[in-house]
């Protein structure tokens, strides 16, 4: 993964610890993990943003789905104890008719319980920060507003106690917040000030840099290549350069092949420095 990303011109990357659609993770040897850690350190990679499976839904209406999702979360975080200092990002989930309030409680309490279990089983504090991703708000999706993410964080820290503080954060996805109705093209500063007022930019740990195929507020969640969507290159350039977003990993989730990603990474570098 790291060598491939290096060839594309990047110095961070995201990866799934299992199939994005769920299923079991493959066994990983201690030697492979040690080699990856050496490579990342020697080549001065930034923090990685590991992504939970898309099918993981810890606030599902069906108990079986919640239980399976909980186990995926526990297994992912336990494995990642061997790759410390990075981020684990996931979609908060869909309440599927239970109601937002019920979903928020389920997400928050599952997070707190799983982190406690991982620390007990590994014999060490949680080694990576767990990030809630900002969502587009389609259907019964939770996380389409900053207030919903704040409610999850607050309840998790209240339920989990003092030892949970500093272990949770947010990954801001530009396509998702745009589709959710946050008009970063008209008022990027205002949106980020709103995030800071509600959640706090100290909890904004990573950025998914994507354009969108949809109008602002469409709640559809369809990503587009940088500068080819409704957000536009000028706004995304402003995101990359914004003072409140510096020193954080930027991850591309655009519909692309390797050649396209290589070009976009170069574009982002030019936006940053010119």
pLDDT tens for each residue of 9-43: 999 999 999 988 877 777 778 898 999 999 999 99
The set of residues, in sequence order, having a beta carbon less than 8 Å from that of 129 and lying 6+ positions away, is 86, 87, 88, 166, 167, 168, 169, 205
User: Cα 91–96–102 angle (5° rounding)?
Assistant: 80
pLDDT in tens, the chain (274 residues): 788 999 999 999 999 999 888 777 777 788 989 999 999 999 999 999 999 999 999 999 999 999 999 999 999 999 999 999 999 999 999 999 999 999 999 999 999 999 999 999 999 999 999 999 999 999 999 999 999 999 999 999 999 998 898 999 999 999 999 999 999 999 999 999 999 999 999 999 999 999 999 999 999 999 999 999 999 999 999 999 999 999 999 999 999 999 999 999 999 999 998 7
Domain ranges of the chain: 2-273
| DSSP at 166 | T
HEC profile of 100-153: HHHHHHHHHHHHHHHHHHHHHHHCCCCCCEEEEECCCCCCCECCCCHHHHHHHH
Q: How far apart are CA 53 and CA 64, in angstroms?
A: 16
Note the helical H segments in 13-99: 30-42, 63-79
Element (H, E) at 203: none
CA distance 45 to 6: 9
**Residue 80 structure tokens:** 């990642």
53, exposed or middle or buried, with CB in 10 Å at 0-12, 13-18, 19+? buried
Q: How many CB atoms lie within 10 A of CB 153?
A: 22
| Whole-number average pLDDT of the chain | 96
What top-level class would CATH report for the domain 2-273?
alpha beta
């Amino acid at each position: 993964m790291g060598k491939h990303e290096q060839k594309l011109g990047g110095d961070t990357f995201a990866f799934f610890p299992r199939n994005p659609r769920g299923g079991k993770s493959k066994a990983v040897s201690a030697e492979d993990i040690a080699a990856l850690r050496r490579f990342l350190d020697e080549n001065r990679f930034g923090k990685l943003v590991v992504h939970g499976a898309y099918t993981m839904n810890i606030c599902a209406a069906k108990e079986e789905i919640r239980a399976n999702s909980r186990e995926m979360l526990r297994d992912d975080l336990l494995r990642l104890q061997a790759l410390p200092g990075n981020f684990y990002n996931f979609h908060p989930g869909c309440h599927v008719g239970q109601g937002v309030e019920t979903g928020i409680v389920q997400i928050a309490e599952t997070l707190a319980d799983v982190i406690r279990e991982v620390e007990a089983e590994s014999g060490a504090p949680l080694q990576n920060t767990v990030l809630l991703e900002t969502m587009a708000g389609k259907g019964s999706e939770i996380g389409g507003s900053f207030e919903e993410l704040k409610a999850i964080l607050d309840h998790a820290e209240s339920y989990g106690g003092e030892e949970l503080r500093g272990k949770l954060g947010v990954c801001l996805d530009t396509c998702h917040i745009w589709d959710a109705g946050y008009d970063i093209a008209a008022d990027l500063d205002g949106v980020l000030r709103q995030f800071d007022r509600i959640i706090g930019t100290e909890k904004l740990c990573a950025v998914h840099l994507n354009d969108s195929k949809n109008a602002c507020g469409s709640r559809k969640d369809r990503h587009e290549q940088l500068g080819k969507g409704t957000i536009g290159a000028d706004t995304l350039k402003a995101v990359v350069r914004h003072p409140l977003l510096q020193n954080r990993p930027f991850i591309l989730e655009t519909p692309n092949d390797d050649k396209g990603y290589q070009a976009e990474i170069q574009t982002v570098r030019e936006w940053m420095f010119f």
